[in-house]
Amino acid sequence: MLNTKEKFLMDTYGYVIVPNLVDLDLVERVRQAMDSMNRELPLVSREDPSPNGKTRKVEGTPYFSKFSPCIEYDPKFLEIAMYPKIMSYVEDIVGGPVRYEEQECSINRRNPNDEATNIRNLAWHRGMSPDFSNYAVAGRSHYLWIKAIVFLTDIGPDDGGTSVIPGSHRTDSIAGIVPELEPWMVHQAKGKAGSVMFFTEALIHSVTPILSERTRYVMITGYVPPFMRECGRVEAPSSEFLSTLGEQERTFMTGDNPKESRYSFRVR
């Protein structure tokens, strides 16, 4: 459950960072699995027609490796997506049971060709319009599509923490706000390994260049209520993968609960 301060931050800024949430042993194991994946997988184009669920390396430069989707690659990736302390935050923010929507992870380091960061030129985006992204129950806001970014390494001020425009989960225009951005209007995520940043997909956010010599590892999982339609086909799990899972994991991956309908969200 979010405490009063965390609810305030989530509602005001559109994100909250919770320190020390994930056990460092799991953090280390996930990082190792990412290193193996980085060694083993060839780079493919995002446009490549991939079968459902197949793990793809969609970025692969000496400075940036990104895998999307990745959950089927190693059991530790599902373990971290369903990590009980993360699930408890996610269900409290979304306001009921959730299903998996997507998972991607990245390893990045300083690109010596990067110019000094101009915040107006970052790759600002969001996944959902503010109009559809939230609802309220008894005065409490809930957010329909959220992401959890698990910090798998310590992220200090120069270490490429995700940039966000705090409060932008309430504005309807990226194009209207980005050309007017000033440094004080942007927050950059920081925290120790094991911290988790939760944010609504209506929040305008961006990957951020690294200025230090540190390598950043993050695991990003998206969560939605079961009734929401899957966003992308390649993120949908493969039937082979689903056949290896127990009931609880399968329900999480698909939203199909053998005991209740997808539409019973909050009908209890």
Ligand X SMILES: O=C(O)CCC(=O)C(=O)O
Q: Which residues bind ligand X (CB under 6 A)?
A: 106, 147, 162, 205-207, 218, 220
* Closer Cβ to ligand X, 31 or 147, answer by number: 147
Nearest to 225 by CA among 140, 135, 138: 135
| Residue 158 φ then ψ, to 5° | -105, 10
Q: Distance from CA of residue 112 to its chain's centroid?
A: 26
CB of 224 to ligand X, least distance (A): 14
Please list the alpha-helical segments (H only) found in 168-246: 174-177, 239-242
CB of 137 to ligand X, least distance (A): 27
CB of 73 to ligand X, least distance (A): 18
* Closer Cβ to ligand X, 231 or 242, answer by number: 231
* Closer Cβ to ligand X, 33 or 197, answer by number: 197
Torsion of CA 174, 170, 137, 195, to 10 degrees: 70
**Minimal CB distance to ligand X: which residue?**
162
Give kind and range of the element (H or E) at residue 106.
Answer: strand 99-108
Site of tokens 């050309």: 179
* Closer Cβ to ligand X, 99 or 147, answer by number: 147
CB of 160 to ligand X, least distance (A): 7
